[in-house]
Amino acid sequence: MRPHESTTDLTAAQDLPSIIRPYGDTTGDAMVQLSFTLPVPSGRRAELAALQLAGKMGLDPASVVHSKAMGPNFTFFIVYGKVNHLIDYVGIEVPEGREYPLLSAKEIDLAIRTVLNRRMVVVGACIGTDAHTVGIDAILNVKGFAGEKGLEYHREIQVINMGAQVTVEELVERAKAENADAVLVSQVVTQKNAHIHNTKQMAAAFHAAYPTAVGPGMGRPLLIAGGPRFDTVTEQELGVDRIFGKGTTPGEVASYLVHALLPNWTPEDPTEST
Amino acid sequence: MTKLDLDPSVVRKARALAERAARPVIEMARTHTTVSVERAQLRLAGLTGADSDGLPWVNHLVDAVRDQVGLEHGVALPVFDALAREPYADLGGLARAASLGAVTFRLPAGGDAGAAAELARAAARRGVGRIDARRAERDVMLRETGDPRQPWIYLIVATGDIYEDIPQAQAAAREGADVVAVIRSTGQSLLDYVPEGATREGYAGTYATQENFRLMRGALDDVSRELGRYVRLTNYASGLCMPEIATLAGLERLDMMLNDCMYGIIFRDINPRRTFIDQRFSRQIHARAGIVINTGEDNYLTTADAVDAAHTVIVSQLLNERFGKEAGLADWQLGLGHAFEINPAIPESFRLELAHAQLVRELFPDAPLKYMPPTKHMTGNVFAGYLLDAFFNLAGVMTGQSIILIGMMTEGIHTPWLSDRDLALENVRYVRDACGALAEDFVPRPDGFIVQRAQQVLSESVDLLERICDDTLLAAIADGTFGVTRRPADGGKGLDGVVERADGYFNPVTEILESQDPHATAVPTPAGSTD
């Protein structure tokens, strides 16, 4: 656990400021900056249009500090202004954090060896037209991400990385052939909500392919979706067991695999855990 | 003049090893054909259009020949033999009938074979002649409108709708772009046919079609005349239809094409054999068409670490150079790629970038190098990203790069907004104007950090090339040498479209491309070439 998380927990609620506004250089000055483009030629009229927009956004007073013609028909603005909104900071409900502990690579391998008594099989792919393997590779390749080695690094995890533009049928077929414990799909391209459609389609295909499954690890693989733009949807909507967002590290995924697939496992010696 | 004091014998050794590593792959490409190579020659013979479902007639015709007589002798003889025997006015009529199963193909022999070959040769000569005419037209345009000085500013448009792309591309040109690339729809590389007509829907890009090429080139010709500066157009000769897209690019006077020897294998999981065969034909077309290819080494650094894998970029560039020259490309057509992707948190990361960029410059002094901006370490902090892009531009100017792809501070957040592009151009204009000829003054200290680092990367490249020669290139790709991804020679998509040539294989286009000097007619001299 990172140190600042524990200090947050210890902080008494009454130490939190109750009402806040943005901070420029003085408490309560409520200053913000923004930039945008308007589809009009630059000039005095365009600046007034920008100020009107800023006013409607709740900036009062606002000032255009920079405006620049971008070709004959567009103008770019940088605007500073004071917002009139107040934020009830104490009243904010913080979503729960990770519901499972972060395990070390050693603990993960030990858990799999102890409980499964075989290697855990993970099949990963970028599905649909998505060709961006950055995400799946960061999680699966030995190279890893953010200083953590990818799942391939674990002796007890067998990784099958199918790469990019894999069809749902190919993925289901491979998962069945390999007896996959978990299936990871990565979706980076989000145009026309392709990431949502592809993932729903994938989940539906797996549920259809394993009609007698009771749950993840019980008759079907654990289904995991990852990508930077899944923050608008829930696991239930997509039909997957877990969504991972931007910045997820391989260690978080590996720890989740143990948590979800080996729920009865507890480290023999908790003092070893880091 | 060399700034890095590279040992010429080491450089020679690196090139000799690249040649050795490429040799068996080139031999394989010379003795095989693919469905897309065969379709490309039909496109050159003038067959266009598609059925009502959008499947091109070239696909119908090649499939019909394949089903009836196989492709090991090439499509030309069976197709032109059928055209001579049957009452169809042209290839289009023949293809329509063949798609209905109404044509019986055979492999002609004796006098019939000779007659079919002559018809095929005449059609191929007309097709190659159209490409030659387009190249001559480019030379005229370059003289009339003016060729911009390097480094050329390379900008991307990617709306998915060609009619939206056109005004964006024209706006980009007016704002200073020397090269406009229309990003291709993400799924296209795995389509085994080239879509037809003007398209208005795509995923993260616009489909590469002959009509889209024609529309965009026409629009850029207009803006080139308006600006008095020739604006180049780029697209992608990659994926399963690489040979056909190269052909369409030649027919529509595109100026540069992304065309890497290994990109499709590693990043699209296209079968390695299919890729190398398709690539050789497409590069022969590019050579003839006067098209500059852009290679994709920058991509390796998006999956592998930019410091640890620096030598894999050099190795791939040497292989791309070898494959390109074997196919007839001249040095001025080798837009070898590399990138500014070192983690900015590493101490002296900028010095390392300078060492890598200068090394590439010196290894390939006459190649129009394409330098790619940071993507991997663009965090969403647009302000820090703008600074990193400025350092990228600075490295590009200091090391005399030829084509600079403009970095966007919103990289990784969304496809560039109009304002992102405008700010990015402001950034590069400032660096370019402020530095002027700074490259002249940038002389790394003899035996200093930059010189030593460059020499180290070169020596690691030689070591890797030696291992590849011992192991074969296909095995090295299977082992994950490039971009960390493992790609076995019998895996990936498109292997079923590969056919070993029989004795007597006949391809009238290859015959022309391999028997004539692609640069015999006109060789444009690129303006502002380095040194």
> What is the per-residue pLDDT across B175-218, written as a single tens digit (0 to 9) for each?
899 999 999 887 788 899 999 999 998 877 899 999 999 999 99
Lowest mean pLDDT among A134-143, A195-204, B493-502: A134-143
Does residue A245 belong to any structural domain of this protein?
yes
Distance of CA B117 to the CA centre of its chain: 31
C-beta atoms of B418 and A37 within 8 A? yes
Mean pLDDT over B224-230 rounds to 97
Does residue A176 belong to any structural domain of this protein?
yes
Q: Which helix (H) or strand (E) holds A113?
A: helix A105-115
Last-in-domain residue among A30, A58, A88 = A88
Residues of B recognised as catalytic: 263, 298, 370
Backbone dihedral angles phi then psi of residue B495, each to the nearest 5 degrees: -65, -30
- Active-site pick, A68, A106, A143, A246: A143
Lowest mean pLDDT among A136-145, B198-207, B220-229, B484-493: A136-145
**Can you list the alpha helix ranges (DSSP code H) found in B366-435?**
382-398, 418-435
Orientation of helix B272-289 relative to helix B242-251, angle to 10°: 10
- Which residues are CB-neighbours of B16 under 8 A, at least 6 positions away? none
- Which residues are CB-neighbours of B27 under 8 A, at least 6 positions away? none
Does residue A187 belong to any structural domain of this protein?
yes
Last-in-domain residue among A88, A116, A144 = A88
Task: Count, in order, helices (H) and strands (E) of chain B.
Answer: 20, 11
Last-in-domain residue among A38, A53, A88 = A88
Mean pLDDT over B63-68 rounds to 98
pLDDT the model gives residue A57: 97
Return the higher-pLDDT residue of B478 and B416. Answer: B478
pLDDT the model gives residue B526: 44
User: What would the DSSP string read from start to end of B99-116?
Assistant: HTT--------HHHHHHH
**A132 plus A188 within the same structural domain:** yes
- Which residues are CB-neighbours of B242 under 8 A, at least 6 positions away? B36, B259, B264, B275, B278, B279, B282
Model confidence at B493, pLDDT cuts 50, 70, 90, reads confident
Percent pLDDT > 70 in chain A is: 88
Query: Which residue does chain B place closest to A136, by CA atoms?
Result: B303
Does residue A1 belong to any structural domain of this protein?
no
- Residues B296/B338, Cβ–Cβ less than 8 Å: no
CB-closest option in A76, A161, A228 to B422 = A76
pLDDT surpassing 90 at residue B529: no
Give me the total of CB pairs closer than 8 Å, taking one residue from chain A and one from chain B: 67
Q: Which domain holds residue A149?
A: 105-272
pLDDT the model gives residue B491: 86
CB-closest option in B189, B418, B485 to A163 = B485
pLDDT the model gives residue B355: 98
- Which residues are CB-neighbours of B331 under 8 A, at least 6 positions away? B364, B366, B367
pLDDT the model gives residue B89: 92
C-beta atoms of B186 and A189 within 8 A? yes
Q: Which helix (H) or strand (E) holds A4?
A: helix A3-10
| Highest-scoring range by mean pLDDT, A251-260, B458-467, B518-527 | B458-467
Q: How far is B56 from chain A (nearest CA, A)?
A: 21
pLDDT the model gives residue A161: 86
Model confidence at B488, pLDDT cuts 50, 70, 90, reads confident
ipTM score = 0.80
For the domain that residue A166 is a member of, what is the CATH number? 3.40.50.280
Helix H, strand E, coil C: the string for B169-195 is HHHHHHCCCCEEEECECHHHHHCCCCC
Closest CA to A116 of A185, A217, A215: A217
**A82 plus A110 within the same structural domain:** no
Q: Does B381 touch chain A (CB under 8 A)?
A: no
Task: For chain A, give the mean pLDDT.
Answer: 86
Q: Does B479 touch chain A (CB under 8 A)?
A: no
**A33 plus A118 within the same structural domain:** no
Q: Does A141 touch chain B (CB under 8 A)?
A: yes
Closest CA to B501 of B280, B344, B328, B306: B280
**A189 plus A247 within the same structural domain:** yes
**A56 plus A111 within the same structural domain:** no
Q: Does B203 touch chain A (CB under 8 A)?
A: yes
CB-closest option in A76, A128, A165 to B268 = A165
Does residue A98 belong to any structural domain of this protein?
no
CB-closest option in A70, A129, A143 to B418 = A70
**A83 plus A109 within the same structural domain:** no
Report d(CA B123, CA B382) in Å as an integer.
Answer: 54
Model confidence at A144, pLDDT cuts 50, 70, 90, reads low
- Which residues are CB-neighbours of A94 under 8 A, at least 6 positions away? none
| Highest-scoring range by mean pLDDT, A100-114, A147-161, B4-18, B262-276 | B4-18
pLDDT the model gives residue A17: 84
pLDDT the model gives residue B527: 43
Q: Does A84 touch chain B (CB under 8 A)?
A: no
pLDDT in tens, B266-288: 877 799 999 999 999 999 999 99
Total structural domains in chain A?
A: 2
Q: Does B418 touch chain A (CB under 8 A)?
A: yes
Q: How far is B135 from chain A (nearest CA, A)?
A: 32
Residue from A68, A126, A132, A133 whose CB has the most chain B CBs within 10 Å, to mutate: A133
Report d(CA B208, CA B254) in Å as an integer.
Answer: 11
C-beta atoms of B422 and A163 within 8 A? no
Query: Which residue does chain A place closest to B172, by CA atoms?
Result: A71
pLDDT the model gives residue A153: 79
Model confidence at B483, pLDDT cuts 50, 70, 90, reads low
pLDDT surpassing 90 at residue A93: no
**A145 plus A222 within the same structural domain:** yes
pLDDT surpassing 80 at residue A270: no
pLDDT in tens, A20-30: 999 999 999 99
pLDDT surpassing 80 at residue B339: yes
**A196 plus A150 within the same structural domain:** yes
Q: Which of residues 223 through 282 in chain B touch A, CB cutoff 8 A?
A: 267-269
**A69 plus A140 within the same structural domain:** no
Report d(CA A218, CA A212) in Å as an integer.
Answer: 9
Lowest mean pLDDT among A223-232, B78-87, B484-493: B484-493
Task: For chain B, give the mean pLDDT.
Answer: 93
pLDDT the model gives residue A14: 58
Does residue A97 belong to any structural domain of this protein?
no
**A259 plus A226 within the same structural domain:** yes
Query: Which residue does chain A place closest to B380, by CA atoms?
Result: A246
Model confidence at A16, pLDDT cuts 50, 70, 90, reads confident
Q: Which of residues 82 through 141 in chain B touch A, CB cutoff 8 A?
A: none
Q: How far is A136 from chain B (nearest CA, A)?
A: 10
Residue from A66, A79, A139, A143 whose CB has the most chain B CBs within 10 Å, to mutate: A143
C-beta atoms of A35 and B419 within 8 A? yes
For the domain that residue A36 is a member of, what is the CATH number? 3.30.30.60
Q: Does A146 touch chain B (CB under 8 A)?
A: no
Contacts of B185 in chain A (CB under 8 A): 129
Percent pLDDT > 90 in chain B is: 82
Backbone dihedral angles phi then psi of residue A230, each to the nearest 5 degrees: -100, 10
C-beta atoms of B269 and A163 within 8 A? yes
Work out whether the CA dihedral A247, A249, A253, A259 comes out positive or negative.
negative
**A145 plus A202 within the same structural domain:** yes
Backbone dihedral angles phi then psi of residue A157, each to the nearest 5 degrees: -115, 125
pLDDT in tens, B108-159: 999 999 999 999 999 999 999 999 999 999 999 999 999 999 999 999 888 8
Q: Which helix (H) or strand (E) holds B21?
A: helix B8-30
pLDDT surpassing 70 at residue A8: no
Does residue A237 belong to any structural domain of this protein?
yes
**A177 plus A245 within the same structural domain:** yes
C-beta atoms of A189 and B417 within 8 A? no
pLDDT surpassing 50 at residue B530: no
Report d(CA B184, CA B36) in Å as an integer.
Answer: 18
Q: Does A131 touch chain B (CB under 8 A)?
A: yes
pLDDT the model gives residue B383: 96
Mean pLDDT over A198-223 rounds to 93
Mean pLDDT over B41-61 rounds to 97
Mean pLDDT over B362-388 rounds to 94
Does residue A2 belong to any structural domain of this protein?
no
- Residues B465/B286, Cβ–Cβ less than 8 Å: no
pLDDT surpassing 90 at residue B510: yes
CB-closest option in A130, A143, A189 to B305 = A143
pLDDT the model gives residue B414: 78
Report d(CA B155, CA A219) in Å as an integer.
Answer: 50
Report d(CA A180, CA B237) in Å as an integer.
Answer: 36
pLDDT in tens, B297-337: 988 777 678 999 899 999 999 999 999 999 999 999 999 99
